[in-house]
Amino acid sequence: MNSRQLEIFAAVMKAGTISRAAELLGITQPGVSRTIAELERSVGFLLFDRVRNRIIATPEARLFYAQVQASFLGMDTLRATAARIRDHGTGQLRIGSLSALGSSLVPKAVRRFREKRPDIAVTLMVLPSRDVRDGVASGAFDIGLAADEIDVSGVLHQPFVQPRVLCALPLGHPLAEKEIIGPLDLHGIAFVAYVPEDRARQRLDRIFTEAGAQPDIVVETIYAATVCALVAEGVGVGLVSPYAVAGADPTRLVLRPFEPAVHSKSLLILPLDRPKSQLVRDFIDCLMAAR
């Protein structure tokens, strides 16, 4: 039994005659008759009685035809499902992002994506970079954005953005009068820092050490948004990515360039053992456009 035999059988049941079925299928009458005979041998019972040059479906044929129709309906459902996956992907997109990008660049990309694919549900989780990496590796996220200090084993990764960090100062801070902030300017100044394992923090520590400067670290945190909030509250000065500042209240912060240049590097990460879906490709395009 094969799908072609079932197709011809169904055509004969619908048409009621061999000749009409052959006409509908665009094949010869002998070809239809031969296929029906082969199918009868395969199933082990007669499908049609031949009465006075006419064919009449047997009770077994009618019962069998009901199942054939159900299988065809199932195939139609599968085709429709395949078309939806082809055109719209899985119907949902799961994104993990570090804080510095999760409050600015990623929302812009989500807006662009939603304009193109309004029927797709989007989940955005803003987490520490290591948790984003673990979520991508486990398949919990379709795409992730993480700082460059993560363990990249088990994920695909590529550089995404590496903006030059800015010095964020509370409104009215004495250093706000300077056009450029250097490491010596921050010596002894209340400072909001990232945690020691952060790569940008490590680069800054080297710069401060080489310059002979030692800021007064009053708070350590993992989130760029938290740095901005603490600076806005006057807790201290901080160095942040311009993407992180984009999600903060600009009326409560003063931003100044910091020299020497320090870059906040992030990675775009994807599951290792899964090809990119069309949804993921579309969202990556939106991310690139939002940079």
Q: What CATH number did the domain enclosing 233 receive?
A: 3.40.190.10
Q: Are residues 199 and 240 in the same domain?
A: yes
Same structural domain, 179 and 63: no
| pLDDT given for residue 255 in this prediction | 95
Are 143 and 283 within one domain? yes
Higher pLDDT, 53 or 38: 38
CATH number at residue 54: 1.10.10.10
User: Do 240 and 166 meet the contact criterion of CB atoms below 8 Å apart?
Assistant: yes
In this structure, are 193 and 176 located in the same domain? Answer: yes
Q: Read off the pLDDT of each residue in 10-28 and give the average, rounded to a whole number.
A: 89
Predicted local confidence at residue 81, as pLDDT: 64
pTM of the model: 0.67
∠ CA(287), CA(290), CA(291), 5° rounding?
A: 95
The band of 276, judged by pLDDT with boundaries at 50, 70 and 90, is confident
Q: Is the pLDDT of residue 199 over 90?
A: no
Residue 90 predicted with pLDDT over 60: no
pLDDT of 83 reads 66
Instruction: Provide the number of structural domains found in the chain.
Output: 3
- Domain membership of residue 70 as a residue range: 3-88
* 222, pLDDT greater than 70: yes
Residues 25 and 57 in one domain: yes
Is 205 found in the same domain as 157? no
CA angle, residues 25, 27, 29, in degrees to nearest 5: 110
**Within this chain, do residues 177 and 157 fall inside the same structural domain, yes or no?**
no
Residue 245 shares a structural domain with residue 180: yes
Domain boundary among 71, 88, 105: 88
Same domain, 176 and 253: yes
The reply to whether 219 and 79 lie within a common domain is: no
For helices 278-290 and 105-116, give the axis angle rounded to 10 degrees. 130
Proportion of the chain above pLDDT 70, given as a percent: 96
- Report the mean per-residue pLDDT for the chain: 90
Q: Inform me whether the pLDDT recorded for 212 exceeds 90.
A: yes
What pLDDT, in 10s, does the model give residues 135-167?
999 999 999 999 998 999 999 999 999 999 999
Strands 190-194 and 155-159: unpaired
User: 185 and 245, same structural domain?
Assistant: yes
Residues 144 and 284 in one domain: yes
